[in-house]
Chain A
Amino acid sequence: MATVTLEHVSYIYGKGTPFEIKALDDVSLTVKSGRVTGIIGHTGSGKSTMVQLLNGLEKPEGGRVLLDGADIWENPKNMQAIRFRVGLVMQYPEYQLFEETIEADIAFGPRNMGLDEEEISKRVREAAAFVGLEPELLQKSPFDLSGGQKRRAAIAGVMAMRPEVLVLDEPAAGLDPRGRDIILRGIREYGERTGSTVIIVSHSMEDMAAYCDDIVVMYQAKVFLAGTRDEVFSHAGELASVGLDVPQITHLALLLKKRGVPLPDAIYTVEAARDCLRTLLQ
């Protein structure tokens, strides 16, 4: 269990050059322990920069990044320990597989942590199970796997380190609907079983609506909205006004409300819409 806090964090790319861009502008935020938090926003809204600050890949220009209340930059020599606690899965992680077998690739992280072979093997099997990789795939070369399977192997490699905070940048991008569901469900299951804090960055409101407890909406380097899923989606109109794609079903609920159909404020899944409309139509 771990809480991540950003305190007045700012970050600037290309400082002092004509290309200077403020990626994060005085951002304060608490990501609650043991929950799945989605970070959503346009390209350039600062969300990828934010996740790279969480495990010290980037250092904030101003403000502090706290892990359970302690500044992660307090003792920079300790950064390796921080990175063991905060695991980061970057975009398109399947390009980072490098070992001869999937098993060896997943084992790379835990081995670097100095765990014994028995524990490593246990972690590998456990992580593979989270992402739904069949045991017989473990002895295969990454070259023999499909794109979706490789993606899952790469995510398992970070899960096997059992980080207290698991951060994933666009884990489902480019996958077909079934592959997307397997990965997102596996990530949720990792959070539930280990009690870890999970942070998912995504463009897809529909995925966020289906798999996250809390949602943070980034817009132009600032936090635009943050709260539980219900709280955030009750502002569907505002989300649409800044050009964010609310799920089609949320858009439908907004339209119906405008036409006088009595619906609650936050409808973001097909199931919720079905239940509300069933009552009205029966």
Chain B
Amino acid sequence: MTMNDIYIHAKNLVYAYREEDGLKMPVLHGISLDIKRGEYVAVLGHNGSGKSTFAKLLNMILEPESGELVVAGRDLCSPELTEDDLFALRREVGMVFQNPDNQLVATIVEEDVAFGPENLGVPPAEIRKRVDEALETVGMTAYARHEPHRLSGGQKQRIAIAGVLAMRPSCVILDEATAMLDPVGRREVIETVERLNREAGMTVITITHYMNEAARADRVVVIDDGRILMDGTPREVFSQPEKLMAAGLDVPQCTALVHALSEEGISLKGTPITTEECADLICRALEEKKNGNRNA
């Protein structure tokens, strides 16, 4: 991996909130990780683990206390970082937050999507083009002239994503952007960002409580009490259910089933993540048992 492939480089990253009485409340105690350009990473952790704080450092909503943080080629800890660098960074690293009702500003969908590029001083013809493309990408073209407040939660979040896309970012961070949605809305949002990742090569970081969502990412990072507890492929991470549960998390039910069977002395080889994988594994075991009986 060359330096060019690394999109986010964090080393010994420390952050503390300041209380009213001036005392510091440490939240991140030395986070070190590298995220490659075009990677699709899910970040898991219980409420208060520091995962949202980590995300907010990535586009400088919060400033790190100490450590190294380089995002999209910009050293965020450098004293020479200018305000222009900051705006450029936020254009490149777009964030979508939890509550769909808190992030739409205009009364018409397409005006909301245009809000970002308008503020950048992008020429009107170019704005038109970007808005149309962004709405097309999230599958909301038919709603361009609608009022955002009449949309469903999933549709609102897709509009928020379109607003980010109109800034032409290289990375999208979802900070529990699916937490307030129903299963249909959740699927709409996930499929949208997965397409951005696969087809446009966009770096996607999704912070979530849903294990089934995390299972779809290339990589899962588990943050616990401000430290990285686990970091690997979904299969590697979910093969350690005890460790996850101790951190207040879960594993997908199929993974939990295989683990529960192994505790009863029935070991199926592998850590299935999807339903199909799990069904294959069980069918194979049943088949082997049948053959074993016949041979015996």
Contacts and interface: CB of A to CB of B under 8 A. Distances in A.
Contacts of A247: 253
Nearest to B289: A281
Is chain B's binding surface mostly helix, strand, loop or mixed?
Answer: helix
Given A178-B46, A274-B264, A248 B182 contact: no
B275 A281 contact: no
Contacts of A248: 212, 252-254, 275
B33 interface: no
A42 B182 contact: yes
A243 B278 CA distance: 22
A280 B286 CA distance: 8
Contacts of A175: 47, 209
Interface in B223-264: 248-250, 252-254, 256-257, 260-261, 264
Contacts of A273: 257
Contact of A270 (B98, B184, B253): B253
A146 B48 contact: yes
Contacts, number: 97
B285 A281 contact: yes
B257 A252 contact: yes
B264 A251 contact: no
Contacts of B260: 270-271, 274
B98 A261 contact: no
B183 A277 contact: no
Contacts of A178: 46, 248-249
Interface in A217-248: 243-245, 247-248
A177 interface: yes
Contact of A256 (B176, B248, B279): B279
Interface string A146-183: 11100000000000000000000000011111110000
Contacts of A173: 179-180
Contacts of A244: 183
A255 B254 CA distance: 12
Contact of B282 (A176, A256, A270, A271): A256
B270 to A, nearest CB: 15
A282 B268 CA distance: 12
Interface residues of A, number: 36
Chain A at the B interface: SS class: helix
B261 A274 contact: yes
B153 interface: yes
Given A43-B152, A44-B152, A252 B278 contact: yes
Interface in B41-70: 45-48
B46 A261 contact: no
A255 B253 contact: no
Nearest to A250: B253
A42 B261 CA distance: 33
Interface residues of B, number: 38
B286 A261 contact: yes
Interface in A132-153: 146-148
Contacts of B176: 174
Contact of B275 (A43, A252, A270, A278): A252
B266 interface: yes
Contacts of B283: 256, 259, 261
B80 interface: no
B96 to A, nearest CB: 15
B276 interface: yes
Nearest to A206: B253
Contacts of A29: none
Interface centre among A42, A175, A245, A270 (most CB of B within 10 A): A270
Contacts of B278: 252
Contacts of A44: 152
Contact of A251 (B275, B286, B289): B275
Contacts of B116: none
A174 to B, nearest CB: 4
B185 interface: yes
A8 interface: no
A53 interface: no
Contacts of B266: 277-278, 281-282
A250 to B, nearest CB: 9
User: By CB atoms of chain A within 10 A, which of B98, B182, B260, B278 has the most?
Assistant: B182
A148 to B, nearest CB: 5
Contacts of A59: none
Nearest to A255: B279
Contacts of B248: 176-179
B48 to A, nearest CB: 6
A27 interface: no
A249 B184 contact: no
22 contacts: A43-B185, A174-B98, A176-B46, A176-B47, A177-B46, A179-B248, A248-B252, A248-B253, A249-B254, A252-B253, A256-B282, A259-B279, A261-B286, A270-B253, A271-B260, A273-B257, A277-B261, A277-B282, A280-B286, A281-B261, A281-B289, A282-B266
Q: Top 8 closest A-B pairs, CB basis?
A: A178-B248, A174-B179, A248-B253, A249-B253, A177-B250, A176-B46, A245-B183, A274-B260
Interface of A: 42-44, 146-148, 173-179, 203, 206, 243-245, 247-249, 251-252, 255-256, 259, 261, 270-271, 273-274, 277-278, 280-282
